[in-house]
A and B are shown apart, each in its own frame.
Chain A
Amino acid sequence: MRERRLGEMSLLGKLVVYGLLFVWTAVVLFPLYWVIITSLKLPGQVADGPDYFPFIDFAPSLHAWKYIFIDLGSDTFRPYLNSVIIAGVSTVLAMAVGSCAAYALARLHFRPRLLSVGLFLAALAGVVWAMAATGVSWQVAVASGLAIFLIAVFALSRVPSVRLSNGDILFWVISQRILPPVVAALPIYIMFQQLGILDTHIAVILTYTTVNMPIVVWLMFDFFASIPKDIEESAELDGASKFRIFREMVLPLARPGLAATSLLVLILSWNEYLLALFLSTAKAQTIPLLVAAQNATRGPQWWYMSVLIVIMIIPVIVLTLLLQRFIAKGLLLGAVKG
């Protein structure tokens, strides 16, 4: 069908289409090419530039690669390993927590009472107020806030009230994505400081998990909703538990969606900068921070930065190529379906 339309397209039309696509290919690839050749230049060559072609315009040198891998050594590998651990673990956690929630929202019915939600918010605000105004320690404040909340919920459990539905919960979870990280970063910083886990993997992992989970819920909800219900229903009649159905039937069916979504989440946490800047100083430093740190007092060290950018992109490109068929088919089914 489309073939015929393109067949009707004149040679000129074809040339225009290919021309535009190749122009954009150049726009995409040229910056990357420039980064790669900059990583092979000596500082003097960069300062005297511009040089375009290695071996013709300038003699390539591996000095920057040597500096990053051998001279810096563990100072490169530690942030790199941190990034791998943090991005990997937080992606797995976000996928696990997010797809469980998405599945529950797609299949089961929730009817939380608006009153309970309101009470909970009031209790939470009370805890903060108690800590702020009266200087109670946070353990006492949280414990008593929880106790008051539970007592109030039980006391008012017979009062009829407006109930929320799955749609409301879904909207609430997804709307967390609107929250700018800088709003939450500061209190999270203070909270982790109080708990004594600032600048540790766990702090950054938990934060990334929370930030990325709404995306997982959003994309996976549509995936689960598009899986036919009857298989699960018959399995349930056979006596399989909901956990088994989810693990052994639903997850395998949703594999394309899981692959594409986790790739997106992985890229987001691999490249994240602002929250890492707040939450890590030395031990949990991630690789984007190391890239930014190459802007030293002697001016930006372009050649070192370029090496770091290159070694940051390579694993993501490899992963993307591996998962390519899933992206084509699976990624953003949610967005496409609305």
Chain B
Amino acid sequence: MASERLDGWLDQNAGRLFLLPAVLLILAFSLFPLIISGWLALSRFRLGRDGFELKYIAELNFKKLLTGSQQFHFIGTFSDIPWTGWALIAIVAVLIGNHCLKYVKYSRITVIGVIGRLICFSLVASLTWMVANTIGPEGRFGSLSTTLFYVFAGVAIQFAIGTGLAFLCAQNIRGRSFFRVVFFVPLMVTPVGIAYTFRMLADMSVGPFSPAWKFLGLGEFSWAADPWTARWVIVLGDSWQWIPFIFIIMLAAFESQPRDEIEAAELDGAGPWRVFRDITWPSVAPVAATVVLIRIIEAFKIVDLPNVLTNGGPGIATESLTLHAFIEWRALNLGGSAAVAYTLLFVSTIVCVSFFQLVVLPMRRKRGMDSSGGSH
């Protein structure tokens, strides 16, 4: 009797029991740490004679990062805006203006929509201002600008190459499964290993390409001593690892494009470029947007490559936010570390949620996929 009643109870609450472990795990190892971290970010940590002491100091940790003594480290050193900076500002302004015009013209305007866009655009505008001000020859990037560079340069390169390879591989050619397996391999290598491998490869005097460097008269040049080459080497390593991820998903997308529509279009005499533009691309665009979103989410967390490849140097030129937080933690500045981590969380959440709302969702709606995919 008792076991029957237990079975009945179990079956009735099956849904909750299925969900419970996941919720408990997130509460214990995600949400609870998040709250503690928030409290750490608002306090000062000191090692005392009897253990440690934590003192509530309100927003001082953040103030230090944004305007105080750590500004150079986090925001960067300001200088005059060079033409590249103005170009960046112009591009962002055009993008925002274009979006606003479209929004006012075609969409239903809601209070939440307006507030969300205001938050997103003010963050984007201030980040653009910061990057433009620190990109000049006199200025220096802080860890925030450096992280943004890794995210946007890295994801753009990875998406371009990954999608291109997937498109080539989706043609009916021999040896497709060979390329599929080989191209997948870099994803399996530990990022630490990739960092060391790229340090070996990029060695200017004994690396495999050193004869080429010498031939070009670059033998004396050290990429690790120049901020921009050091950053590009890190983007290179990161791209080598993550292009396979974009490749494999985009390949699946290209393979599931509507064959009959293509056939019909070709019978109507459409050329390959028109087929690509009108049929192939619209059918893979939602997947492309999703895969870019996944990459942006992961790219914000980059730490292994800068830590091992350049150790954050020269100076702080290649330090990502996570590495910055880790270095503060190692120096036992727990409050500062938590503050850096929190700003990373803040920036990446707003960027990812905005990208989801402003790019991924509209693309899915266009294809009418939203009803099947749930609300994520």
Contact = CB atoms under 8 A, between A and B. Distances in A.
Answer yes or no: do A and B interact. Answer: yes
Interface of A: 1-3, 5-6, 9, 14, 17-18, 20-21, 24-25, 27-32, 34-35, 38, 46-50, 52, 96-98, 100-101, 103-105, 107-110, 124-125, 128-129, 132-133, 166-171, 173-174, 176-188, 190-191, 206-207, 209-211, 213, 217-218, 221-222, 225, 241-243, 246, 267, 270-271, 273-274, 277, 287-288, 291-292, 294-295, 300, 302, 305, 308-309, 312-313, 316-317, 320-321, 324, 327-328, 331-333, 335-338
A71 B341 CA distance: 40
Interface string B10-23: 11001110110111
Contacts of A270: 190
B313 interface: no
Contacts of A17: 168, 171, 173
B204 to A, nearest CB: 11
B25 A97 contact: yes
A186 B334 contact: yes
A53 B326 CA distance: 40
Given A21-B169, A312-B193, 5 more contacts: A97-B21, A124-B31, A186-B341, A213-B22, A337-B369
Q: Pick from A6, A103, A287, A335 the residue with the most CB of B within 10 Å.
A: A335
Nearest to B345: A183
A117 to B, nearest CB: 11
5 contacts: A101-B18, A129-B39, A183-B344, A273-B191, A331-B252
B373 A187 contact: no
Which of B16, B33, B373: most chain A Cβ within 10 A?
B33
B181 A207 contact: no
B300 A48 contact: no
A113 to B, nearest CB: 14
Nearest to B291: A335
Chain A contact surface mostly: helix
B53 to A, nearest CB: 11
Contact of B188 (A211, A217, A267): A267
A180 B201 contact: no
A184 B303 contact: no
Interface in B196-243: 196-201, 206-208, 210-211, 240
A1 B196 contact: no
Contact of A327 (B184, B200, B344): B184
Contacts of B56: 132-133
Q: Is the interface of B mostly helix, strand, loop or mixed?
A: helix
Contact of B196 (A181, A309, A317): A309
Interface in B288-315: 290-291, 294, 297, 300-301, 303-304, 308
Given A101-B19, A332-B248, A28 B183 contact: yes
Contacts, number: 319
Nearest to B347: A180
A52 B373 CA distance: 50
Contact of A182 (B210, B326, B352): B326
Interface stretch (B70-78, B88-96, B256-264): B256-264
Contact of A320 (B39, B181, B240): B181
A302 B22 contact: no
B301 A180 contact: yes
Given A24-B165, A177-B297, A206-B29, A50 B183 contact: no
A177 to B, nearest CB: 6
Contact of A271 (B181, B189, B373): B189
Contacts of A101: 18-19, 21-23
A64 B127 CA distance: 48
B375 interface: yes
A302 B196 contact: yes
Contact of B190 (A182, A271, A332): A271
Nearest to A245: B14
In order of increasing CB-CB distance, the 10 nearest A-B pairs are: A167-B375, A187-B33, A104-B18, A49-B206, A101-B22, A108-B15, A187-B36, A242-B14, A271-B190, A210-B29
Contact of B376 (A20, A167, A243, A309): A167
